[in-house]
Amino acid sequence: MIGLREINTHAFPVGRDERFYFEAEGINPAELTPGRFARALYAATGASGDSVSWFAEGQRGLFELVLAGDAARRVITPLTIPMPGIGAQRPAVVTLRRDTDPITLDPSAFELSWTDDGPAPTPGSVAVALHALDKARLFSDDILLAMPAGATLRLTLTAAAIALGARTDLVVAGRPMVLARIPR
């Protein structure tokens, strides 16, 4: 007699595995081990370490990884993940993308860089510096997202910042810095 056997669907991954890639920014690739990445991914998305089924450095500094189906579903891309413990005192980030993500060129994407060893300036101090640059056009609400990445601060500015050139010198909290438009 053949009896019915209950299938525990929770024992199997739900959905299909997905391939992601990211570019390490401001990080020495040697420091970026699968374990460190898995820890950062867990902190960011709650995906367990065993969901990373493939992790390899590909061409042109791109890293490739494959996440198990249930973990992959939790990742909303593009996802910028802070990588604590990497990059000495400066915060390092990686931006996780899918192959299927549209490639967009965001005219509002800027990068603020500095040469000294100091920490990333706060969004407030950047806002003050921008307003000092053009008191008629630039205000605090023109700064949208701000994300420290290595020795740079990636900024998303409003359309008002369109007047800014490709490269602008800024003095932020007494420190000389360069604000540059970046393709994203």
Residues that bind another protein (CB under 8 A): 40, 43-46, 75-82, 84, 91, 119-120, 122-125, 127-128, 130-131, 135-136, 138-148
Looking at beta carbons only, is 43 or 56 nearer to another protein? 43
Looking at beta carbons only, is 60 or 158 nearer to another protein? 158
How far apart are CB 39 and another protein at their closest, in Å? 8
Looking at beta carbons only, is 60 or 129 nearer to another protein? 129
Looking at beta carbons only, is 70 or 125 nearer to another protein? 125
How far apart are CB 118 and another protein at their closest, in Å? 11
Secondary structure in 3-state letters for the chain: CCCCCCCCHHHCCCCCCEEEEEEEECCCHHHCCHHHHHHHHHHHHCCCHHHEEEEEECHHHEEEEEECHHHHHHCCCCEEEEECCCCCCCCEEEEEEECCCCCCCCCCEEEEEECCCCCCCCHHHHHHHHHHHCCCCCCHHHEEEEEEECCEEEEEECHHHHHCCCEEEEEECCEEEEEEECCC
How far apart are CB 152 and another protein at their closest, in Å? 13
How far apart are CB 20 and another protein at their closest, in Å? 13
